[in-house]
Structure 1
Amino acid sequence: MGEAKARGPYAKTPARRAEIVRAARDSFAEKGFAKASLRDIAERAGITHAGLLHHFRSKDELLAAVLADRDAEEWRQGLAEVDHPARLGPYLGALLRHHQKAPELMRLWIELAAAASRPGHPAHSYFVERYERGRALFSEGLSAGAARSGLREGISPESAAVLFQAVLNGLQLQWVLDQELDIVGPVDDFVRLLFAPDGE
């Protein structure tokens, strides 16, 4: 009876999937992707191994869901907190410091993004769409407030969006390789390069 209750009706409810993703995020951060097991993740989520496999077919699929969940959370937070270019630098600095608290997740994101560059990879479509969506949202935000955005002359919102992703990804890759490296200062410098001071 207890086992049947634990296994549940296998309904793919958003709440159950969210519990599994949170459990996987904790397991990946603590143990690393290679050492984290689906059985450990299932136990953390309070379901059986078979129950977990009903929602996620593999550890790779679960990792993609963990990273997608983090992306969505950060986009919501960014949209809520950044309503002016002057707030972008502080927000990005805080975001990078938050990522640095879970270096294994940062490393996994970089590894998965590189592997997904192959068209046949299961996460390929997700990463293509992620970058397209990110560029569109960032450039739309700048275009919507073109008069007050203060982008330096000659820099288009579309170009700024591409540079934004390249700088954030590149800084995190460098930090994973050398965790003594300051990446918060350079991201502040990057924002100052993108935006002209008021009145300039």
Structure 2
Amino acid sequence: MPKRKPGLRAAQKEATGKAVLEAAREEFERVGFEAANLRAIAARARVSAGTVLHHYGDKRELLHAALFDDLDETLRRALAEPGTGPLETQLSKLTRTVFQYYQQRPKLSRTLLKESLFADEPWARKFNAQVHMVHGALARLAEEASARGELRPGVDGAVFAVAYFSFFYFALISWVQGAHGSPEALVEHLVRQHLEGLRPIRKPLRNPPRRSDP
């Protein structure tokens, strides 16, 4: 029997891994993390439970991998295409793209929020790297808006990015707790209000020209 080529084996391994992660996301969303079991996840992915263990170890490792992989892809796609136009428009697109991800699986989103904030190593480091990636992108968008004249000169992009995160997480927590039904609109309102304080200050004319009589 001919041996499989290394490239083919790697591709099959990657495909199996993706199938397991997608099956895990579906099962975690359906029954919750605590009730989910590896056999059910393996059945969804059409692999053996041993294959799941071989790829990801235990159920919590599988949870972290499933959450990180999906969110990372969403974030990178959103940041790669911020769109054109004013900063407010770019941030609105980013906000809606990420919230669409959360809203697709509301139960899993609650788990994601908890696990990404309080994960153990090495996942804490990986989730923190995601935050730093988004923080850097937001800071650049703010600094570019300042260079265009949308915001005052010298606006601290890093501080603005922290403000955006505070708005985003407040809306996300409100949504997962059922306290707010439209988190995107809440973030956009908070961002708009914050940006008003960063706009260039326009000085009024001291002696406006008088209207001459005909």
Greater Cα offset, 169-178 or 78-87: 78-87
Aligned equivalents of 1:147, 1:137: Cα separation in 2: 15
Residue 187 (structure 1) aligns with = 187
Structure 2 unmatched runs, 5+: 1-8, 203-214
Residue 95 (structure 2) aligns with = 92
Task: Report the count of equivalent residues.
Answer: 189
**Structure 1 position 194, deviation (Å):** 4.6
Q: Does the 8 Å CA contact 1:152/1:195 hold for their aligned counterparts?
A: no
Higher RCO, 1 vs 2 (CA within 8 Å, ≥6 residues apart): 1
Q: Percent identity?
A: 26
Q: Report whether the alignment pairs 1:16 with 2:16.
A: yes
Aligned equivalents of 1:111, 1:168: Cα separation in 2: 15
Structure 1 unmatched runs, 5+: 1-8
Q: What's the TM-score once normalised by structure 2's chain length?
A: 0.74
Tell me how large the CA RMSD over aligned residues is.
2.9
Residue 171 (structure 2) aligns with = 171
Aligned equivalents of 2:133, 2:76: Cα separation in 1: 13
Q: What's the TM-score once normalised by structure 1's chain length?
A: 0.78
Query: Are the structure 2 counterparts of residues 58 and 146 from structure 1 closer, same or farther at C-alpha, using a change threshold of 3 Å?
Result: farther
Residue identity in the other structure for 1:60: R
Q: Does the 8 Å CA contact 1:150/1:195 hold for their aligned counterparts?
A: no
Residue identity in the other structure for 1:40: A
Q: Does the 8 Å CA contact 2:151/2:200 hold for their aligned counterparts?
A: no
Which string of whole-angstrom CA distances, capped at 9 and with x for unpartnered residues, describes residues 97-152 of structure 1? 44234211110012213432xxx545222222222222123223444565238345
Paired residues for 1:121-140 under 5 Å: 121-140=121-140
Residue 105 (structure 1) aligns with = 108
Aligned equivalents of 2:193, 2:47: Cα separation in 1: 50
Query: Are the structure 2 counterparts of residues 161 and 180 from structure 1 closer, same or farther at C-alpha, using a change threshold of 3 Å?
Result: closer
Residue identity in the other structure for 1:96: F
Query: Are the structure 2 counterparts of residues 74 and 47 from structure 1 closer, same or farther at C-alpha, using a change threshold of 3 Å?
Result: same
Which string of whole-angstrom CA distances, capped at 9 and with x for unpartnered residues, describes residues 34-81 of structure 1? 111111111111110001101001111111111212222212331344
Q: Report whether the alignment pairs 1:43 with 2:46.
A: no
Residue 63 (structure 2) aligns with = 63
